[in-house]
Structure 1
């Protein structure tokens, strides 16, 4: 049976930020055990080093309170603006920025990126650097023409969105609209980094099931150019034998690096 689309109101009322992070992004969480973190960190590291993705401002568009994908960007951008759909997620990120007691511990992710970068920074140095680079935490809604409404954000050099659009959009037409919405905030010639799940239809958080729009490589190869981008990389990680009892149904993950056409 097809999963029922999760409303914005349900997310606002029922999504538990700490439970999500402790379920999926702790050292023994699904994001580590199924290879997602390693896959994303390796591709992010390559994008910000050998692929030369850099600039003044990076804009991060999220629906979950995830910071792991921003660590590799620390040395490539002067400032990072992170945004999130949910107030409880923005509070969770603010708690980490202020180094408050009880904030989520990203040390496992930091250890991995430090190793990838040849230990150029120690883990405390990298953590401090990211806190300094993140200038603000804003509200965003990718389904709106201006996702940051009522704010108007000057066009940025790089736009990142990880595990976001397929969780925020009810169908593929809405996905295309959302991609165009966020693209309006990216400079011509700027870089888009899009990371997400392949073949995912839903995920569990506690006892509640949340809808996910199922994406495939063929759709992504078609829609990214249609939205005005040249695809520079499209990497996938396919899970050969997904656990049928998993709390998230998925077939793998994708990493896209694209450049906005002039």
Structure 2
């Protein structure tokens, strides 16, 4: 099958500025960021709490420059591998992992997750746990049959991917193919934890506009089934009224789902 060709010029590699994108994640300072973070973090907490999903290896697909998606998972997976398509995002992620000067301050978000877990005061310990858990930061392209090539990894117990597919996939067929590609990274019975926005056609990073593939629940259910996944949980929320006037993105709602590789 022919690979979906990326549009030229490569807008993400050239124009996506991680430091501008991270402005969304200054907790209690950005209404859109807060809406997305509160929704995702609560569901990550519920998914990875004791008795929930666990295992040895977790791969995050399309990490961007963010670490919020690791904060609950690092408690139930021994090793996390972060991945992204753009070099700048990988560099920004490494900056935080290695405590380099100028790294983004995630502590308000970390404290919020620790509060969900019952002890806000353990935030510094949580940050160190994340740094220990994330053992590799790799290039990733979900449009490739082997998204992580040239890296060769054992089959993962879990995959997470947040706000990635709608940005990475230019067409519905590309999204179907991407889910099929991701399935190959999972062991039989392993889980995919997927989240994002509904009906999003664009989002802004600083003054740069990025087009996205509008997803809806019907399409997601069909595409996941076609790719060999069984959905175990799908949570959704309508966009809050107070963010509707914010013209940096046009998403209509958010989703969070857990699906198992059916074999």
CA distance in 1, matches of 2:42, 2:8: 33
CA distance in 2, matches of 1:240, 1:109: 20
Report what 1:97 is aligned to.
Answer: 97
Segments of structure 2 that go 5 or more residues without pairing to the other structure are: 1-5
Contact 1:200–1:212 under 8 Å retained in 2: yes
TM-score, normalised by the number of residues in structure 1: 0.93
- Name the stretch that deviates more: 164-173 or 145-154: 145-154
Contact 2:61–2:140 under 8 Å retained in 1: yes
User: Alpha-carbon deviation of 1:217?
Assistant: 1.1
Report what 2:10 is aligned to.
Answer: 9
CA distance in 1, matches of 2:33, 2:11: 27
Q: Please, what is the CA RMSD of the aligned residues?
A: 1.7
Report what 2:148 is aligned to.
Answer: 148
Segments of structure 1 that go 5 or more residues without pairing to the other structure are: none
Contact 1:198–1:253 under 8 Å retained in 2: yes
Contact 2:64–2:93 under 8 Å retained in 1: no
Contact 1:6–1:211 under 8 Å retained in 2: no
Report what 1:205 is aligned to.
Answer: 205
Secondary structure of the equivalent of 2:10? helix
Q: Would the alpha carbon gap of residues 119 and 235 (structure 1) be closer, same or farther in structure 2, given more than 3 Å must change? A: same
Report what 1:258 is aligned to.
Answer: 259
Report what 1:174 is aligned to.
Answer: 174
User: Alpha-carbon deviation of 1:119?
Assistant: 1.1
Q: Where do residues 113-152 of structure 1 align in structure 2 (5 Å cutoff)? A: 113-119=113-119, 122-152=122-152
Secondary structure of the equivalent of 2:204? strand
Contact 2:111–2:121 under 8 Å retained in 1: no
Contact 1:6–1:210 under 8 Å retained in 2: no
User: Alpha-carbon deviation of 1:206?
Assistant: 2.2
